[in-house]
Amino acid sequence: MSEKYTAAQWAEIEGGHEMTPDSEEAFSFLKDLHESRMTKDNGSSQRLTYTDCGERTYLTLLALETMRQYPDFKGYVQRYAKKTSGFERYKFYRIMGTDLYNFIYFLVGDDSAQDKLKDPVAARKLKKSTNVPLADINRYLQYIAQGRKLGQVSSMFIKLESGLNITNADYKAIRRNLVNFSKLTKAEKRLLSTRLIFAVRAKLRSSDIIEDFEKFAAIKNLEKASVIDPEPTVSRPDIATRPGDLALYRYLVGDRNLALTKKFLDQAKDGKAVSAAMLQAYLPAIEMIDDIVQGGPAFVQQLRSLQKRAKNKQ
């Protein structure tokens, strides 16, 4: 047994089974590839918003589903799913778990889970309006972990998009093509995979899946050099655009600017460019902040204090 791990940790990893030479070799592979990296309990999770965790959950599952399409990578996907599943209620943070497990924990865990994130107050507010399809995710992971045949997975991904408010059109296009992967041409498969590679590099750069997903893409020659990378690398803020919030935006930007303000917020949240019309619609809010800045440090401090009070009230 490795001196780096206690007996209890080995028991957790192996699900309570006695270690054998074969399982030790398998664990060596799992240990290197499937311990959380992006969500290590060293403050790294404090760089993530609640929205980030939802998006990264979705992208990790897309990456696993893509690799699952190739028989020689099904073993890798099975091991990752096995390491993630088995703790279906996501009650506790698990340092020995995968990043996927911990992403889901941050999404559905109690308040202490969101306390680990970048903006706990905003995270808890978004959690109330988020519907994570846990039953579908758990069924998906269990079937893969057990090597059982899966039917259509489009339902799970559609529920994820709706429940996690995934609005990125590129990600949705990847999902639509992925569920019909066997019908795609070789060129279409390369385009899909390249788009996903860009997304994984941008959003899962330090995760436990990135290294092997890139190896997979290289071995299968799936990256298309001519495709332009559209991905922003910045974290996505937890911006809510629910009807109640938008109704209050009306007092800042006016009735006629409300629809374009929503589009402005959605585009900004996705790290995408906004049109001149959207920017013009949001301009009254920008002018308000500029007036406060022009008023001097005392007014800026009052604004910051007001923001803090508002966040504490949420």
Number of domains in the chain: 2
Tokens of 261: 């303000």
Q: Are 150 and 272 contained in the same domain?
A: no
8 in any annotated domain: no
State pLDDT tens for residues 279-300.
888 888 888 888 888 888 778 7
Q: Domain of residue 198: give its range.
A: 35-219
Is 5 a member of any domain? no
Q: Minimum mean pLDDT among 75-84, 122-131, 182-191, 296-305: which range?
A: 296-305
Bigger pLDDT: 223 or 105? 105
Summary mean pLDDT of the chain: 80
pLDDT score of 19 more than 50: no
Q: Are residues 179 and 60 in the same domain?
A: yes
> What pLDDT does residue 26 have?
39
Considering the domain boundaries, does residue 119 fall inside one? yes
Please give the C-alpha separations between residue 305 and each of 118, 249, 295, 302, 311, in angstroms, as whole numbers: 19, 20, 16, 5, 10
Q: What is the C-alpha separation between 276 and 77, in angstroms, rounded?
A: 44
Average pLDDT over residues 63-81: 94
List, for residues 222-278, the tens digit of each pLDDT value. 987 766 566 655 566 666 666 666 677 777 778 777 777 777 877 776 666 778 887
CA distances 282 to 2, 68, 168, 276, Å, are 58, 44, 21, 10
Whether the per-residue pLDDT at 33 is higher than 70: the answer is no
The H or E element spanning position 170 is helix 169-178
Which residue is it, tokens 């970048």?
118
Q: What is the average per-residue pLDDT within 52-65?
A: 96
Six token digits for residue 304: 């910051």
282's tokens: 């949001």
How far apart, in whole angstroms, are the C-alpha atoms of residue 239 and residue 235?
12
What is the pLDDT averaged over residues 87-107? 89
What is this structure's pTM?
A: 0.66
In this prediction, residue 25 has a pLDDT band, given cuts at 50, 70 and 90, of: very low
> Is 117 part of a structural domain of the chain?
yes
Residues 195 and 278 both lie in one domain: no
Do the beta carbons of residue 261 and residue 249 sit within 8 Å? yes
Q: What pLDDT score does 45 carry? A: 79
Q: What percent of the chain has pLDDT above 70?
A: 77
* pLDDT of 162 higher than 90: yes
Here the tokens at position 61 are 């599952």
Asked if 214 and 248 sit in the same domain, the reply is no
Q: Do 277 and 183 fall into the same domain? A: no
Q: Is residue 254 part of a domain?
A: yes
